[in-house]
Amino acid sequence: MDITNSLYEGRLVRLGPIDHEQDPPLVARWTRDALFRSVLGGVARPLSAEAVRRQLQKVEKQMEETKNLFHFTIRARADNRLVGLARIFWIDFHNGTGVLNLGVGDPSDRRRGYGSDALNLLLRFAFDELNLHRLSVWPTADNLPFIKMVGKAGFEEEARRREASFHDGSYWDVLHLGLLRSQWEQSL
């Protein structure tokens, strides 16, 4: 145990809280790209800054009330700029399980290592702070960059729910990939 080793500081990014003043306009801009649906969940639609502000307030309220959700902002360490969002949700402390999702908002910020760096922090948070036994991710089969990223971190395909998502005019499989605590420990 080394409590001086920060849970939130990565190589390129840091995990932070929501900034209810500064974040909403930026997140609203990301929602103009339907691809961002995979991060917020649900049906893709452009959201106004005010709509995002309320959604983020709701998220924080839910964190306070249910205790089974941890929501993070991902910020570039260089200038503290918001680059993405992440959450560990559906946490079941009694069985030690949870689901993870994260996304980098601006297309020009993708493929620069921010996601992988944030993922490493989130795994450590899930296993060393939340003490989970396992984690899941649920990408649709067309989300290849995300599948590749979590594969590198050790996630294995456990289930393939056939044609369980419909978007962009077709049905897509929904993958369930899992990482056990023991596998994560070995990978360190």
Partner 1 sequence: MSSNLFEGQLVRLSSEDPPVMAEAFARWNQNSEYFRLLDSDPAHLWSTNKFKEWLEKDLDSALPGNLLFSIRTLEKDTLIGFVAFDGINWADRDSYVAIGIGEQDFWGKGFGTDAMRLMLRYAFTELNLHRVSLNVYSYNLRGIHSYEKCGFKHEGRIREFVLRDGQRSDMLHMGILRDDWDKLELK
Among 1, 94, 108, 188, binds partner 1 (CB under 8 A): 94
Among 96, 120, 124, 142, binds partner 1 (CB under 8 A): 96
End-to-end CA distance of the chain: 14
Burial class of 43 by CB neighbour count within 10 A (0 to 12, 13 to 18, 19+): exposed
Residue 116 or 165 having the CB closest to partner 1: 165
Burial class of 26 by CB neighbour count within 10 A (0 to 12, 13 to 18, 19+): middle
- Cα distance between residue 15 and residue 12, in whole Å: 10
Among 89, 97, 109, 124, binds partner 1 (CB under 8 A): 97
Shortest distance in whole angstroms from residue 26 CB to partner 1? 26
- Cα distance between residue 96 and residue 103, in whole Å: 24
Q: Is 31 a residue that touches partner 1 (CB under 8 A)?
A: no
Shortest distance in whole angstroms from residue 100 CB to partner 1? 14
- The site map against partner 1 for 38-57 (x = CB under 8 A) is ----xx--------------
Residue 73 or 101 having the CB closest to partner 1: 101
In this structure, what are the phi and psi dihedrals at residue 84, rounded to the nearest 5 degrees?
Answer: -170, 180
